[in-house]
A and B are shown apart, each in its own frame.
Chain A
Amino acid sequence: MKIRIAAALAAGVLALSACSSSNPLGSASAQPSGSTSAAGGGTLVVGSQQYYSNEIIAELYAQALEAKGFTIDRQYQIGQREVYLPELQAGTIDVFPEYAGNLLQYLDKDSTAKTGEEVIAALPAALGDTLRPLTAAAATDQDSYNVTNEFATTNGLTSIADLAKLNRTVKVCANSELEKRPYGPPGLKSTYGLDVEVIPVEDSGGPLTVKALKDGKCDTADIYSADPSIVANDLTTLTDPQSLILPQNVVPIVSTKVDDAAAAVIDKVSAALSTEELVALNALSVDKQQSSAQIAKDWLTAKGLLS
């Protein structure tokens, strides 16, 4: 019995060490880079964040590329930026949908870029030689401060600055990390002169956050701007006249393996992707529980990007 346990343990340890030494994304790096010379050849690895909306966008790129004869290896739901960005830089992922502002802030903490154009302009230098951004989509998906329509009307709120009219500490329902974000309490204080208390609700602007806002547990809630629940729940997104929240245009980040032909295909997807379109795509996932593959196929077909 003891021997069998020991053997099982040894096998387990071996299996574990095998795991740690093999890179699950390694298959792509084994191929010589730059092998994709023209449409119709080569395998491109498309990745996505662990965020349903990001996966939908990745799937748009993937299916559009496949329609033009590229072979696609899908590596979706790869955690957060800390995890996937090193993989991109190492060349194991070739195409990744990113959000311009957060990506720039991650790459260059001292960046002074504020507007959407400034952020896009600063990206190529921040990304270095191995990666480049393609043309950004008009669609944005960023943190936004939302109030109920009723609360907005009663208190005459249209912008974040108007929250000062409340003349008290503003309660914000958001994930706890808002406390540490530049657009959180410190930024709201220095930019808009607001005293803010974060009420942590850890579902990333999901139904619990919306419920808390509607119950009046907080004055405003941090919800991603492409979240269909903003429209569905009659919320008003407060404008940000001082550009405190960096614009998060959806921008494809690609490796050197992505040639002009492939880039042209992705650019066509980006050109068709507005914020309204993105919200509609997200709604299909949230409300209708459709798969990202189905959503992407229907949308690309409607836009004529699969032919």
Chain B
Amino acid sequence: MNYFSEAIAWILDPANASGPSGVWARCWEHLWYTLLAVVLACVIAIPLGYLVGHTRRGRGLVVVSSGAARALPTLGVVTLVGLVLGIGLVAPMVALVLLAVPSVLAGAYAGIEAIDRRTVDAARAMGMSEWEVLTRVEIPLGLPLLLGGVRSATLQVIATATLAAYVGAGGLGRFLFLGLKTQDYPQMLASALLVVAIALLMEGVFEISERAAARRLHTA
């Protein structure tokens, strides 16, 4: 428990708090990397997931390829992309997006697949166009599962975004690596605790928005 109290003291130490390499700045960078990676993953995965879910085609291909993407070791991707594109944010961002896409993709197509076929058929029978079926029926009904996918992607990215510091970018990984290499274990633990805190914070945000989505479904 000694490390634990030292880590808390490290976080609360005003000397570590401010400045461009302070706790606040690094937390903000970490959150920003996470949001950027998840948004990019959503831009790629949601349209693709909806296409697969709506047309019910290509599911096997998507499942296999996103499963393969999940199995990629992120540090390896960071290093490989870094060797091609150089250090900075691009390499870890590619790796984080690759990490986030499978969960979002699964959430998107599973959300639509899980809808009762009779509901979709009824919508078509009412004379809705395919576009209307997608936007008015499938997307709203699939929203809870999609949010679940985005939620798990976000959690994975928050934990893994520490690798950005491996190739010269910022984020909470900076404290983690510095602590590891200088045997400053309280600092390592402190950065891990901050990552946990950010993860819990985002969990809270998702919990609230998932409930809101569920309520809208009920009242709609």
Structural contact, A211 and B87, CB atoms closer than 8 A: yes
Alpha-carbon distance between A200 and B87 when the two chains are bound, in angstroms: 10
A217-B87 contact given A176-B165, A200-B165, A202-B166, CB 8 Å threshold: yes
Structural contact, A173 and B178, CB atoms closer than 8 A: no
Which positions in A face B, CB cutoff 8 Å?
A: 82, 173, 175-177, 179-180, 199-203, 207-208, 211-212, 215, 217
Whole-angstrom distance between the Cβ of B190 and the nearest chain A Cβ: 15
Per the 8 Å Cβ criterion, residues 177-211 of B in contact with A are 177-178, 181-183
Interface contacts beyond A180-B182, A208-B82, A211-B87: sample of 20 additional A-B pairs, CB < 8 Å, sorted by A: A82-B183, A173-B87, A173-B168, A175-B181, A176-B174, A176-B177, A176-B178, A176-B181, A179-B178, A199-B87, A201-B87, A202-B167, A203-B79, A208-B79, A208-B83, A211-B82, A211-B86, A212-B86, A217-B86, A217-B168
Structural contact, B177 and A202, CB atoms closer than 8 A: yes
Structural contact, A201 and B167, CB atoms closer than 8 A: yes
A177-B181 contact given A207-B83, A212-B86, CB 8 Å threshold: yes
Interface residue B88 (Cβ < 8 Å from any Cβ of A) = yes
Whole-angstrom distance between the Cβ of A274 and the nearest chain B Cβ: 29
Whole-angstrom distance between the Cβ of B198 and the nearest chain A Cβ: 20
Structural contact, B86 and A201, CB atoms closer than 8 A: no
Per the 8 Å Cβ criterion, residues 52-94 of B in contact with A are 79, 82-83, 86-88
Structural contact, A200 and B83, CB atoms closer than 8 A: no
Please give me the residue from chain B that is nearest to A80 by CB atom: B183
Interface centre among A173, A177, A215 (most CB of B within 10 A): A177
> Which residues of chain B come closer than 8 Å to A82, judged between CB atoms?
183
> Which residues of chain A come closer than 8 Å to B165, judged between CB atoms?
176, 200, 202
A208-B181 contact given A200-B174, A215-B86, A217-B87, CB 8 Å threshold: no
Please give me the residue from chain A that is nearest to B79 by CB atom: A208
> Which residues of chain A come closer than 8 Å to B182, judged between CB atoms?
177, 180
Interface string of B154-186 (1 = CB under 8 A from A): 000000000001111000001001100111000
Interface centre among A82, A173, A175, A208 (most CB of B within 10 A): A208
Please give me the residue from chain A that is nearest to B91 by CB atom: A208
Structural contact, A199 and B168, CB atoms closer than 8 A: yes
> Which residues of chain A come closer than 8 Å to B79, judged between CB atoms?
203, 208
Please give me the residue from chain A that is nearest to B84 by CB atom: A211
Interface residues contributed by chain B, number (CB under 8 Å) = 16
Please give me the residue from chain A that is nearest to B178 by CB atom: A176
List 27 interface pairs A-B (beta carbons < 8 Å), by A numbering: A82-B183, A173-B87, A176-B174, A176-B178, A176-B181, A177-B181, A180-B178, A200-B168, A200-B178, A201-B87, A201-B167, A201-B168, A202-B166, A202-B167, A202-B177, A202-B181, A203-B79, A208-B79, A208-B82, A208-B83, A208-B167, A211-B83, A211-B86, A212-B86, A212-B87, A212-B168, A217-B87
> Which residues of chain A come closer than 8 Å to B183, judged between CB atoms?
82
Alpha-carbon distance between A179 and B86 when the two chains are bound, in angstroms: 22
Interface string of B20-51 (1 = CB under 8 A from A): 00000000000000000000000000000000
Whole-angstrom distance between the Cβ of B181 and the nearest chain A Cβ: 4
A215-B87 contact given A201-B167, A201-B168, CB 8 Å threshold: yes
Alpha-carbon distance between A176 and B187 when the two chains are bound, in angstroms: 13
> Which residues of chain A come closer than 8 Å to B178, judged between CB atoms?
176-177, 179-180, 200
Alpha-carbon distance between A175 and B82 when the two chains are bound, in angstroms: 15
> Which residues of chain B come closer than 8 Å to A200, judged between CB atoms?
165, 168, 174, 177-178
Sort A-B residue pairs by CB-CB distance and give the 7 closest, nearest first: A177-B181, A215-B86, A212-B87, A176-B178, A202-B166, A177-B182, A176-B177
> Which residues of chain B come closer than 8 Å to A175, judged between CB atoms?
177, 181
Alpha-carbon distance between A200 and B165 when the two chains are bound, in angstroms: 7
> Which residues of chain A come closer than 8 Å to B177, judged between CB atoms?
175-176, 200, 202
Please give me the residue from chain B that is nearest to A81 by CB atom: B183
Alpha-carbon distance between A215 and B86 when the two chains are bound, in angstroms: 7
Whole-angstrom distance between the Cβ of A207 and the nearest chain B Cβ: 6
Please give me the residue from chain B that is nearest to A207 by CB atom: B83
Alpha-carbon distance between A201 and B88 when the two chains are bound, in angstroms: 9
Alpha-carbon distance between A207 and B178 when the two chains are bound, in angstroms: 20
Alpha-carbon distance between A175 and B87 when the two chains are bound, in angstroms: 13
Alpha-carbon distance between A273 and B174 when the two chains are bound, in angstroms: 38
> Which residues of chain A come closer than 8 Å to B166, judged between CB atoms?
201-203
Interface centre among A82, A173, A176 (most CB of B within 10 A): A176
Structural contact, B83 and A217, CB atoms closer than 8 A: no
Whole-angstrom distance between the Cβ of B175 and the nearest chain A Cβ: 9
Alpha-carbon distance between A21 and B203 when the two chains are bound, in angstroms: 41
Whole-angstrom distance between the Cβ of B88 and the nearest chain A Cβ: 7
Whole-angstrom distance between the Cβ of B79 and the nearest chain A Cβ: 6
Alpha-carbon distance between A259 and B17 when the two chains are bound, in angstroms: 55
> Which residues of chain B come closer than 8 Å to A173, judged between CB atoms?
87, 168
Please give me the residue from chain A that is nearest to B175 by CB atom: A176
